[in-house]
Chains A and B, each alone.
Chain A
Amino acid sequence: MLSIKNLHANIEGKEILKGINLEIKAGEIHAIMGPNGSGKSTFAAVLAGREEYEITEGSVDFEGNDLLDLNPEDRAREGLFLAFQYPIEIPGVSNVNFLKTAINETRAYKNKDAITAKDFLALVKEKSALVELDSKLASRSVNEGFSGGEKKRNEIFQMAMLDPKLAILDETDSGLDIDALRIVANGVNTLKSPDNATIVITHYQRLLDYIIPDFVHVLYNGKIVKTGGKELALELEEKGYDWIKTENVEL
């Protein structure tokens, strides 16, 4: 589904991603962990097509398309979804209006008719139930005045509505209370299918108790320096990152 080869990216002349290689197949869940500032959010933003970053080397193939060749909206329409670490507020635009526009833009891209009001409402009902999103939040302005946890839950609601092929969750667990964590994880697991894949960026092994990853990668200083199974997360929880850092002093 996703094949990343030797990806390098700069911002303001500073190299942040320093040669990332990663293969993701349909049906898989990959976790990415790593110390603060190691480049996890940058990696996610680069995949989503944020223009501030300059790609200096490497290639990304997404379902047979050259991902780096597509603009951000077409990447989304092709099925790439990013749950933001810091979701953005759009005052005066209701969540449902926002999502309806998003769904219809994607449908138009695929030469499909706009979704009917009835189908759309049914979808909102089903998906908001899945993440137990308060129906009041669905009609409020996008993220405006939402609590930190509500914003995160809203990201997963949007993901459920848009049904992506590849979802990247950037620290969706941070700021969630214990119940919300379980609900969000449950939502992600329910949406999981043999046809889609998920990248979970997190600092906490706790989330990985709910969302069981097939692979855990450690991103350090712009590179994936270690890859393992779910037990790697436990090891990191126990030992911290120091041993990884010493293993990689030459970086």
Chain B
Amino acid sequence: MKKIIAYTEDELEKQLKENQEYKFGFTTDIESEVIPIGLDEDVVRLISSKKNEPQWLLDFRLKAFAYWKTMVEKKWAHVDYPKIDFQSISYYAAPKEKVDVNWEDVDPELKATMDKLGISMDEQKSLSGVAVDFVMDSVSVKTSFKEKLGELGIIFCSFSEAVHDHPELVKQYLGTVVPSTDNFYAALNSAVFSDGSFCYIPKGVRCPMELSTYFRINEANTGQFERTLLVADEDSYVSYLEGCTAPMRDENQLHAAVVELISLDGAEIKYSTVQNWYPGNKEGVGGIYNFVTKRGICHTGSKISWTQVETGSAITWKYPSCILKGDNSIGEFFSVAVTNNHQQADTGTKMIHLGKNTKSTVISKGISAGFSNNSYRGLIQINKNATNARNFTQCDSLLMGDKCGAHTFPYIEVKNSTAKIEHEATTSKIGEDQLFYCNQRGISTEKAINLIVNGYCKDVLNQLPMEFAVEAQKLLEISLEGSVG
């Protein structure tokens, strides 16, 4: 079994002490900026007051917290990890109070990976948590970017900013797709979320560029409980990119984000994610636990398309879903999930068909290597009034070696007899025959694996915006390096 770092009381106490010592050395008023470990109602109030939040938001948090206390962590996912002690985590640190890391101490393998991805030295340091004076060449880019969006009435800012500048929008939509009582981690997030992104596209506006959280990466440390709310008003369109291919390291082991998408009548949201949190080392030590709740609601004639490339984290638990409420609405889910070494992933989607003539497509490509476990879990639910609903699901697993596992858990619930549901599933091994065929044409085994894997994932990678797709391809290569002997 693997050894898991952090969250032992001793270790945390030690860490916390170190942090405080360090901070004392530089400033005096900082003490109050860190909330001691543990979670109770006072902590929730404190977070809210530190962020200067209005009463309604505090009420939202308190309600979520009260509910969370009554919940137990469900263990149905096909992942295995030691019990998390939620009382040994600190739930608030002021954004600038990052733990400082020495560049010399950063894992050389991580450095090598970032080199391969072509990430600049400054950025590498910043991503590893090394304090740098960030001279961002993108500052001017960012400003003109914001101006342009502003002209169109598009709002794209941090969640905290939105709470202050656009409270009516946040209030109207927050928690409407993922209720604070939805699940254990969503409730926890609702109670203690730190920051995140907010985006609003006005009626009839086609957002002229990909909105990328990358532009915001250095604005604030969004912390371990991220909250994203994206509203596409009637007949609008937006393509949103989350994450980046650079390996992200964080001193927080547990990440529990919530993402809510609202696609109003005739709108379309394309939401693409590349997730590459630190997966732990080859022996499975360290690495991020990523427990995410992502869901979107589609009103009449609207569409939400989730595309994800998941290569990181020690444990991933994630089901981007669509509620197809409006008639003629469309939900899509395209996913590549790679697990290597000792990683575990349990991911998939839920398509809830409520409206008539609703359509959903699910393409899931799992790749397992090393000692990893990769599960697809999908629910297709056709409700009573969803006449003529259609679903197509294709769920493929690719195994590399014989020490890894691939599992599929499809759930189908149909309450309307006009529904048409197609489900295809395959499991294959990268074949000796395929590798030999490539070798015989002069292609090395490593290159051959890249070719075969990219071919296998093509339907999903094709959904990503161009530059993102190229990066994701490179990322797949690196994630699977040396996985076949």
Confirm or deny: B70 has a beta carbon within 8 angstroms of a beta carbon on chain A: no
Nearest CB of chain A from residue B472's CB, rounded to whole Å = 15
Q: Output the residue of A92, A103, A106 with the most chain B CB within 10 A.
A: A92
Beta-carbon contact of A101 and B451 below 8 Å: yes
Q: Output the residue of B441, B447, B458 with the most chain A CB within 10 A.
A: B441
Report how far A91 CA is from B458 CA in the complex, Å: 9
Beta-carbon contact of B442 and A90 below 8 Å: no
Beta-carbon contact of A90 and B436 below 8 Å: no
Q: Output the residue of B434, B442, B445 with the most chain A CB within 10 A.
A: B442
Contacts of A46 in B (CB 8 A): none
Q: How many residues of B contact A (CB 8 A)?
A: 23
Nearest CB of chain B from residue A130's CB, rounded to whole Å = 18
Q: Output the residue of A81, A93, A99 with the most chain B CB within 10 A.
A: A93
Beta-carbon contact of B443 and A49 below 8 Å: no
Contacts of B452 in A (CB 8 A): 90, 93
One digit per residue, 1 when the CB lies within 8 angstroms of any chain B CB and 0 when it does not, for chain A 9-46 equals: 00000000000000000000000000000000000000
One digit per residue, 1 when the CB lies within 8 angstroms of any chain B CB and 0 when it does not, for chain A 63-100 equals: 00000000111011100011010011011110001110
Contacts of B440 in A (CB 8 A): 48-49, 72-73, 75-76, 81-82, 84
Nearest CB of chain A from residue B453's CB, rounded to whole Å = 9
Report how far A87 CA is from B441 CA in the complex, Å: 12
Beta-carbon contact of B443 and A105 below 8 Å: yes
Nearest CB of chain A from residue B187's CB, rounded to whole Å = 41
Q: CB within 8 A of A76: which of B431, B434, B439, B459? A: B439
Beta-carbon contact of A102 and B455 below 8 Å: no
Contacts of B447 in A (CB 8 A): 101, 105
Nearest CB of chain A from residue B436's CB, rounded to whole Å = 6
Beta-carbon contact of B434 and A88 below 8 Å: yes
Confirm or deny: B213 has a beta carbon within 8 angstroms of a beta carbon on chain A: no
Contacts of B456 in A (CB 8 A): 91-92
One digit per residue, 1 when the CB lies within 8 angstroms of any chain A CB and 0 when it does not, for chain B 421-463 equals: 0000000000111101111111111010001101111110000
Beta-carbon contact of B437 and A102 below 8 Å: no
Given the contacts A73-B444, A88-B433, A49 and B455 also touching, CB distance less than 8 Å: no
A to B contact number (C-beta, < 8 Å) = 75
Given the contacts A88-B434, A101-B447, A93 and B439 also touching, CB distance less than 8 Å: no
Report how far A75 CA is from B458 CA in the complex, Å: 30
Nearest CB of chain A from residue B93's CB, rounded to whole Å = 45
Nearest CB of chain B from residue A69's CB, rounded to whole Å = 15
Contacts of A93 in B (CB 8 A): 451-452, 454-455
Given the contacts A73-B439, A73-B442, A102-B442, A90 and B434 also touching, CB distance less than 8 Å: yes
Beta-carbon contact of A76 and B442 below 8 Å: yes
Beta-carbon contact of A106 and B455 below 8 Å: no
Contacts of B441 in A (CB 8 A): 76, 98-99, 102, 158, 162
Report how far A73 CA is from B442 CA in the complex, Å: 4
Beta-carbon contact of A49 and B451 below 8 Å: no
Contacts of A72 in B (CB 8 A): 436, 439-440
Nearest CB of chain B from residue A9's CB, rounded to whole Å = 16
Report how far A82 CA is from B456 CA in the complex, Å: 25
Listed A/B pairs (28) with beta-carbon separation below 8 Å: A48-B440, A49-B440, A52-B432, A72-B436, A72-B439, A73-B440, A81-B440, A82-B440, A87-B437, A88-B434, A88-B436, A88-B437, A90-B434, A90-B438, A90-B451, A90-B455, A91-B455, A91-B456, A92-B456, A92-B458, A93-B451, A93-B452, A102-B441, A105-B442, A105-B444, A105-B447, A106-B442, A162-B442
The 9 A-B residue pairs with the shortest CB-CB distance, nearest first, are A92-B455, A93-B455, A72-B439, A76-B442, A102-B441, A88-B437, A92-B458, A106-B442, A73-B439
